[in-house]
Structure 1
Amino acid sequence: MSKKLISFLFILLALGNFQAQDKAEKALEIFSEKYPQEKIHLVFNKNSFVAGENLWFKSFVFNGYELSAISTSLFVELYDSNKTQISKKILPLINGKGNGNLTLPDNLKEGIYYVRAYTTWMTNFSEDFQTLRPIVVYNPSSPQKLVINDNSQWTAAAFPESGTFIDGIATKFAVRLQSKGITPSEWSGYVVDMEKPEVKITSFKGFDQNVGAFSLTPTTGKKYQLIVTDSKGNKQTVNLPPVADSGIHLQVTSTNEAIKFSLQSKNIAPGTVYKVIAMINNQLVFKVKSGKILEQTYTIPANQLINGILQLTVFDDKENVLAHRLCFVQPDLLNIKKPTLQSLSLDPSPRASNSFTIAQNAENDGYTVLVLDGNSESSEDENSLLSTLWLTGDIRSKIYRPSQYFTPNRNSEAFDALLLTETWKRFDWKTLLSGTYPIISSQPQPYISYKGKVSIQGKPAANTAMNLLFSMPDKGTKLYQVKTDANGFFTLRGLIFEDSIKFSYQLNDPKIPKEQVQVIFQPDYSFVSLKGNLPGSHYTLVQRTNNDQPTDQVKRYVTTKNNQSSINEKATLIEEVKLQAVKKDKTKELNEKLSGPLFQSANETIFDFVNDNTNTAQGSMNILQWLQGRVAGLTLEMDMGNYVPKLRGSTVNIYLDEMKIDPSQVSTVSTADIAMVKVMKDYFLGGSGGGGGAIAIYTRRGGISGSANNADLPSKLKQITLNGFDKEVPFVSPIYGNDNFNSISQDVRTTLYWNSSLKTDPKEPAKIQFFNNDDAKSYKVIIMGFDDRDYAPVYYNEAVK
């Protein structure tokens, strides 16, 4: 359950006259606790591409309305319009965030392609909630070209509020447009009585290209029609639902102060008991059950809630769903942390240096920063981080430019009408009340995990110890021991490495010849085939003629692509010179020297006692006591006179020079002899079974202990290569002011700066520097992240000059 929702859940339940749980509440509680829902947002370095370019992306994986801690690996795939897979990647997720790139082959035909992203946990649920983003790829050499499909047919549908249309009750309707291409930007409609089609009862204009709204009080026996027309004269007629002579109607109003709702009825016996429950992110936040529910208006205080979609459902005394409604909490008061830009130094001169800083913020550990030529489009223009978090991550129907509902000039009335046309898609009440829940067939493994099987002369090596050895420059040969189970199997969990790594292996029993031993490794993860259909797009392909010329945008892309190899080569040379001139961070260098690949964690805190001149640990009798209070979540408990460390309430293992020791042995290690301590709060290979955290102590004695004596040993043993995460290609921009880049005759880059993981210092502002292209006069700056303390997105998307 969301940490923030817990804090006000009981307040709202009390306001809602909470009683004992009924079947619906029990089913919702089970679903919320056991089946959390992940959703993914992808932001690209630009909005469209040409064949042969690299596509860089940043991923944010959410569990409801906060960053997800469920998954640590992300699967990303590229498909063409025929659903043929072109490439695939597996990437690490650190605190719910990841980044990478996809290389678009030079021979890709011009067309619409699709980037798919999902986690192992997401494959247990509807494929509809996986991310499937269309991208435009141009190729002037292709026989066909893309054109916008603005002449396709559109359809209209009418949705009465709460799904009911009852005699004598004023009812709000939302009208939703859909199309395979682009829906009309200007359209309107009116309602008539079918017996008097020449008389307009009410009329309206569309809010945007998705939705419009009107209100109507119906009369039993009459039949109503909706006529919708666009600016080109296209027309569609829609029959409104039949008018019911009895029933329950739910009316909802959402403001910044409160969500107010009331039930209106016709021909309903007084005293009938009804129940209304409200939920956010599948979690119950309000409930009322009463025989007098039809007699009053109820208020849910919005300041006790978080931004998000609120679902209200009305049940009868047999828990049948009578009415439902979606609305958004505080639509005009979005909780967004907007970074502050400072020290702007912008020069529109060709190839000039530009810079700005982002004010320091102790609550943010980093940002994704994108700077575009001001005339360029961004992938955020269509579907932004905000619209994924608060809308499209849970509502999977086609919405034209969903980002518009979260911009400063948003139309909240249009957004409310849009939600009136939707139902909650994460589950359906009928299925939930029947006791049917998702079947969990795939559990997420920590980072990269492998299963292995050891055989001796073809027979499983049961309960056998095996040594894994690997050698690293300047580190000697590291040894890690695993033990098989009764069937000869073992697991390696929580590996964090890129590309590949080579292991040598031998059984711990020297009497068994290595020729008789066979070890088979198999990844404990898998890509999952795409079963559903690809979504439509706003484009269609037409035959290219001999006179067709590429657009200015495509010409810019081609020029940039042709320049990029030269830019990469020259920038790499400059970076190599920098690295030779600048000394490595001493703590980082110490960590690389002392700890082997098995003892690497994505979430580790390092205490350097070699280079830290203010080392206070030497005055402590026990290093564990010194660590307490310096590591968040670390506590100590006494057990038979020894300190036992715990993280998040769970006992963690202690390693001395990467060899596991008992807590009682820590007191025998003098703090004066300690070179470094690492507290790892995440999975790592060196832990037992992958581990969920550890304290690793490294001594000054012997430099690197835990190494095999014979450095040549691995070369004499059998070897196996394990594949890790896919490595990201670095994003490189020209650095003007350096003669190496004078050979670039034309600079027409649209992406001037891209940093998917800009690290920040809580005490210092973060500085961004980039160089202009040849013609940019303004810039589009996009900064994004997530504030874990306040559970709020960090977002900046503005044009600057």
Structure 2
Amino acid sequence: MMNNKFVKLLRPSLLVTAFFSIASLAKSQDINTKIENFAGRFPAERTYLHYDKSSYSPGETIWFKAYTLAEIAPAEASKNLYVDWIDDKGKILQHTISPLITGMTNGQFDLPATYQGKSITVKAYTSWMLNFDSSFLYYKKIPVINPEAAGKTGPLPPPSLTFFPEGGDAVAGIPNKIAFKAANAFGDPVKITGVVVDEAGKFVDSLRNIHDGMGFLLLTPKANTKYTAKWKDDKKTEYTTPLPAIKPEGIAMRVSVLPGKRSFEIAASPGIVSGGDSLHIIGTMYQHVVFNFSRALSAEPITGTIPLQSLPYGVLTITAFDKNWKPLAERITYVNNPSYREEATMEVEHWGLSHRARNELVISLPDSTPASLSVAVTDLAIGADSSENILSGLMLTGELKGKVYNPAYYFKDSSLKAEQQLDLVMLTNGWRRFNWDKLIAGELPAVKYPRDTSYITVSGKLAGIMPSQISPASTIVVMMKQKDATDGKVLMMPINKDGRFNDPSAIFFDTARVFYKIQDKTLDGSMVQFMSDRLRTPAAGNYWTTPFKADTAGNAYHLKMATAANAILEKNKYKELETVTVKAKTKSPTELLDEKYASGLFKGDMNSVQLDVLNDPFAKSAMDVFTYLQGKVAGLQISGSGSNASLSWRGGSPQIYIDEMPADVSFASSLNVNDIAYIKAFRPPFMGGTGGANGAIAIYTRKGGDIKQEPGKGLSDSRIEGYTAIKEFYVPKYYSQFTAPDADKDLRTTIYWNPNVLIDPKKKQITISFYNNDVTDAFRVVIEGMTIDGKLIHHVETME
């Protein structure tokens, strides 16, 4: 669905059409409709991850907060964010899933203590983003400080020089601006000197190095002529690079960066002028039309000015078409509108002037719009990566192909010089959201990955059945127990005609074990597939293969702190082992069963009758579990059998549990006694669960080595996975600066991390507090965030 915020924004910008005083033709309106239809059906999403620090050592946890936008507003439609953690050999170490709430989520990845790579690659995306060019997914290589991975790097390939004719092609007989970019194997800029010569070796123009290895030359090429660049890198090594081939016919587009506007000039070759009567020029942002006009062709260039004040931030694409709507040239330029940023301020309310002392910071926002921030406080000595941030990630690089060196630089000021330097980035980086030929023909791309419009819940589908077998009363009963939970819950879900079932309220994290039974005999024999719509982990891609050079500033200090912290962990591990006294005694079969099956408040004797069904030879002859129980538990009255059984203990009905999850008589009676390993009858009152005033009967089905392979009998079970568990960052609280002589040193390099700092719109500020470690004297505070309407926040400050 189209972003309403973006549509409202564009309404004033449609005045650009009136500005050019060109009436829209019926075909232009048709093209507008097709583009808007595309934008409405295929809105582009992009994401950015803020980490607690910029580098890690093996054994550390990488904490992150993710921000996801659709156009210029939080991505509300997509509910799940996937992150792949890839080692430097291309293996996915973990595929994490986090729920997106108003376009934001957080999580963590535990870097293995045995990791020996130099970096870890992070790939983040929504399922919707997988339908489009993989260049627009989020990728990040994070350095891993690892002495085991140290070693000499092999010989690197020579630097590259790439040319980019403005508008797409260099056309004979027309003045052309041809940009270039010189970079080394790591994608870092190389300062070069050189000239361009023709086939005869005659000087044509110099290579003007303007900013970070980028520059341009001016050339009016001759037809059927080849041009070559002769250049030297910063080591004075000589190279030659051919320029792109010259097209005999076409158009050249020139765009100039001026304060508050962009001027353009479009010149056509004689063949284009004689063969057509007009050009159509369309401007788009985030796939929406911001202007559309036509101009008559002549020998004189077409010129005009595009005002920017009513446009949002981002890439503006200008495309020129011939009279038959065939694209001839395309140019991108950047609109840096600072009104889509929110300026945060920070004040130190209380300085902790010693180690383990408490600090208080007040973070304020000028706007009254609700905002969510992520705040990281790190030891200043470990260094930082200041080359990118939430502004550059969501406002620039998320919309471009190819590496942009030091993208954060372009958001440090809004001067004309910075805008002109950013225009060089536009000239030398790819952008292609539209396949114009297919779009104009009305062909839309196929959607292979449906958008995750709902959260991950207990769901599944039945296989091997016909829709006619499913009745409106068909249901599946699922008993679910989550990992490490002491209690479970029972879900009863209707089965739809397509065989699918789902409980939207059953959102869960980590893993869970489910036992299930289909309440419809006509569906016997069908196979149940849980979490059938879950996204399969896509291939790792090839970003992990790109050469990588990390900033080594602060690495030695960081490694020293990490090594010392790991040594303390190892020491404490052995200390714990030393305090363990091993006492062994022979355990009865019933005690062994209780140890294996019972957990939490169900574990131990606890005034219960324990029945070893697994080793009871008479269990096989019992019709059902209630027939088996008759006469075995003093005070428990059982009348009837099967689903008609009635239980009474001290004047009331005891609560029934199957594998520690609440169940009813009907469900329990369906169990095959041969599939039961152990039963505990808890005398009243039982406090281990809910409703145990009249005691409880806990039935445990066989598992592990106790499972008897008899297909089709007993209660089926499965293991399912939900969202990746989200841990809480540990922040110690020191109530005294006194340190005991035998106390471990606090060597944390991340002093504070909070991914969910919420600013109350009424107060417009919040106070956070944290405690120093035992070694740090100066901190770096990084604050990033997003308001509920998509404004971005970035603030960095040091405390020394």
Secondary structure in 1 aligned to 2:336? coil
Counterpart of 1:794? 793
**Structure 2: gaps (5+ residues):** 574-689, 702-714
Q: How does 1:495-534 map to 2 (within 5 A)?
A: 495-501=506-512, 521-530=530-539, 532-534=541-543
Counterpart of 1:772? 772
- 1:566 Cα deviation from its structure 2 partner: 9.7
Work out whether 1:277 is the aligned partner of 2:282.
yes
Paired with 1:564 and 1:431, the residues of 2 have a C-alpha distance of 60
Counterpart of 1:239? 242
Counterpart of 2:558? 553
Q: Is the 2:90–2:540 contact (alpha carbons within 8 Å) kept by the matching residues of 1?
A: no
Paired with 1:751 and 1:227, the residues of 2 have a C-alpha distance of 49
Paired with 2:728 and 2:431, the residues of 1 have a C-alpha distance of 40
**Structure 1: gaps (5+ residues):** 542-549, 569-705
- 1:707 Cα deviation from its structure 2 partner: 9.7
Q: Is the 2:341–2:792 contact (alpha carbons within 8 Å) kept by the matching residues of 1?
A: yes
Work out whether 1:781 is the aligned partner of 2:781.
yes
Q: Is the 1:567–1:734 contact (alpha carbons within 8 Å) kept by the matching residues of 2?
A: no
Counterpart of 1:735? 733
Q: CA 1:539 to 1:533, structure 2 compared with 1: closer, same or farther past 3 Å?
A: closer
| RMSD (CA atoms) | 4.0
User: Residues 695-726 of structure 1, C-alpha deviation per residue, up to 9 Å, x if partnerless?
Assistant: xxxxxxxxxxx999999589699576643211
Paired with 1:150 and 1:749, the residues of 2 have a C-alpha distance of 37
Secondary structure in 2 aligned to 1:190? strand
Match of 1:208 among 191, 206, 212: 212
Q: Is the 1:256–1:330 contact (alpha carbons within 8 Å) kept by the matching residues of 2?
A: no
- 1:370 Cα deviation from its structure 2 partner: 1.1
Q: CA 1:488 to 1:779, structure 2 compared with 1: closer, same or farther past 3 Å?
A: closer
Q: CA 1:505 to 1:383, structure 2 compared with 1: closer, same or farther past 3 Å?
A: same
Counterpart of 1:34? 41
Secondary structure in 2 aligned to 1:6? helix
Match of 2:319 among 313, 316, 319: 313
Q: CA 1:317 to 1:767, structure 2 compared with 1: closer, same or farther past 3 Å?
A: same
Which one-letter code corresponds to 2:796 in the other structure? N
Which one-letter code corresponds to 2:734 in the other structure? Y
Q: Is the 2:460–2:528 contact (alpha carbons within 8 Å) kept by the matching residues of 1?
A: no
Q: Is the 2:229–2:240 contact (alpha carbons within 8 Å) kept by the matching residues of 1?
A: yes
Report the more deviating stretch, 405-414 or 307-316: 405-414
Counterpart of 1:227? 230
Q: CA 1:734 to 1:530, structure 2 compared with 1: closer, same or farther past 3 Å?
A: same
- 1:734 Cα deviation from its structure 2 partner: 3.6
Secondary structure in 1 aligned to 2:143? strand
- 1:762 Cα deviation from its structure 2 partner: 2.7
Work out whether 1:357 is the aligned partner of 2:365.
no
Paired with 1:117 and 1:480, the residues of 2 have a C-alpha distance of 32
Paired with 1:466 and 1:57, the residues of 2 have a C-alpha distance of 38
Q: How does 1:386-425 map to 2 (within 5 A)?
A: 386-408=391-413, 411-425=418-432
- 1:470 Cα deviation from its structure 2 partner: 6.8
Paired with 1:471 and 1:184, the residues of 2 have a C-alpha distance of 55
Counterpart of 1:619? none
Secondary structure in 1 aligned to 2:423? helix
Counterpart of 2:678? none
Paired with 1:318 and 1:266, the residues of 2 have a C-alpha distance of 17
User: Residues 368-393 of structure 1, C-alpha deviation per residue, up to 9 Å, x if partnerless?
Assistant: 111222333345x2432112212221
Q: How does 1:28-427 map to 2 (within 5 A)?
A: 28-140=35-147, 142=148, 144-145=149-150, 152-166=157-171, 169-181=174-186, 183-197=188-202, 199=203, 201-209=205-213, 211-218=214-221, 223-243=226-246, 246-267=249-270, 268-269=272-273, 272-291=277-296, 296-330=302-336, 333=338, 335-347=340-352, 349-359=354-364, 361-378=367-384, 381-408=386-413, 411-427=418-434
Which one-letter code corresponds to 2:242 in the other structure? N
- 1:486 Cα deviation from its structure 2 partner: 4.3
Secondary structure in 2 aligned to 1:303? coil
Paired with 1:179 and 1:253, the residues of 2 have a C-alpha distance of 28
- 1:407 Cα deviation from its structure 2 partner: 2.5
Match of 1:451 among 460, 472, 491: 460
Secondary structure in 1 aligned to 2:421? helix
Counterpart of 1:581? none
Q: Is the 2:164–2:180 contact (alpha carbons within 8 Å) kept by the matching residues of 1?
A: yes
Which one-letter code corresponds to 2:211 in the other structure? F
Paired with 1:525 and 1:223, the residues of 2 have a C-alpha distance of 54
Which one-letter code corresponds to 1:2 in the other structure? N
Paired with 2:266 and 2:219, the residues of 1 have a C-alpha distance of 17
Paired with 1:726 and 1:794, the residues of 2 have a C-alpha distance of 27
- 1:342 Cα deviation from its structure 2 partner: 2.8
Q: CA 1:490 to 1:762, structure 2 compared with 1: closer, same or farther past 3 Å?
A: same
Q: CA 1:747 to 1:169, structure 2 compared with 1: closer, same or farther past 3 Å?
A: farther
Which one-letter code corresponds to 2:237 in the other structure? N
Paired with 2:693 and 2:516, the residues of 1 have a C-alpha distance of 15
Which structure has the greater CA radius of gyration? 2
Q: TM-score under structure 1 normalisation?
A: 0.72
Secondary structure in 1 aligned to 2:235? coil
Paired with 2:199 and 2:548, the residues of 1 have a C-alpha distance of 38
Paired with 2:498 and 2:432, the residues of 1 have a C-alpha distance of 43
Q: Is the 1:286–1:300 contact (alpha carbons within 8 Å) kept by the matching residues of 2?
A: no
- 1:466 Cα deviation from its structure 2 partner: 4.3
Counterpart of 1:579? none
- 1:239 Cα deviation from its structure 2 partner: 2.6
Counterpart of 2:751? 752
Which one-letter code corresponds to 2:69 in the other structure? F
**Aligned sequence identity (%):** 25
User: Residues 73-119 of structure 1, C-alpha deviation per residue, up to 9 Å, x if partnerless?
Assistant: 12222222221121222111111111111111122113222122222
Q: Is the 2:46–2:68 contact (alpha carbons within 8 Å) kept by the matching residues of 1?
A: yes
Q: Is the 2:156–2:185 contact (alpha carbons within 8 Å) kept by the matching residues of 1?
A: no
Q: Is the 1:353–1:770 contact (alpha carbons within 8 Å) kept by the matching residues of 2?
A: yes
User: Residues 588-633 of structure 1, C-alpha deviation per residue, up to 9 Å, x if partnerless?
Assistant: xxxxxxxxxxxxxxxxxxxxxxxxxxxxxxxxxxxxxxxxxxxxxx
Report the more deviating stretch, 496-505 or 435-444: 496-505
Q: CA 1:565 to 1:768, structure 2 compared with 1: closer, same or farther past 3 Å?
A: farther
Q: CA 1:451 to 1:21, structure 2 compared with 1: closer, same or farther past 3 Å?
A: farther
User: Residues 625-670 of structure 1, C-alpha deviation per residue, up to 9 Å, x if partnerless?
Assistant: xxxxxxxxxxxxxxxxxxxxxxxxxxxxxxxxxxxxxxxxxxxxxx
Secondary structure in 1 aligned to 2:558? helix
Q: Is the 2:531–2:720 contact (alpha carbons within 8 Å) kept by the matching residues of 1?
A: no
Q: Is the 2:249–2:269 contact (alpha carbons within 8 Å) kept by the matching residues of 1?
A: yes
Q: Is the 1:394–1:426 contact (alpha carbons within 8 Å) kept by the matching residues of 2?
A: no
Paired with 1:212 and 1:707, the residues of 2 have a C-alpha distance of 76
Which one-letter code corresponds to 2:16 in the other structure? L
User: Residues 674-708 of structure 1, C-alpha deviation per residue, up to 9 Å, x if partnerless?
Assistant: xxxxxxxxxxxxxxxxxxxxxxxxxxxxxxxx999
Paired with 1:38 and 1:447, the residues of 2 have a C-alpha distance of 18
- 1:243 Cα deviation from its structure 2 partner: 4.9
Which one-letter code corresponds to 1:118 in the other structure? Y
Secondary structure in 1 aligned to 2:231? strand
Q: Is the 2:278–2:296 contact (alpha carbons within 8 Å) kept by the matching residues of 1?
A: yes
Which one-letter code corresponds to 1:300 in the other structure? I
Which one-letter code corresponds to 2:252 in the other structure? H
Report the more deviating stretch, 311-320 or 461-470: 461-470
Q: CA 1:367 to 1:162, structure 2 compared with 1: closer, same or farther past 3 Å?
A: same
Counterpart of 2:501? 490
Q: Is the 1:117–1:130 contact (alpha carbons within 8 Å) kept by the matching residues of 2?
A: yes
Q: Is the 1:313–1:324 contact (alpha carbons within 8 Å) kept by the matching residues of 2?
A: yes
Paired with 1:160 and 1:394, the residues of 2 have a C-alpha distance of 20
- 1:120 Cα deviation from its structure 2 partner: 1.8
Q: Is the 1:149–1:539 contact (alpha carbons within 8 Å) kept by the matching residues of 2?
A: no
Q: TM-score under structure 2 normalisation?
A: 0.72
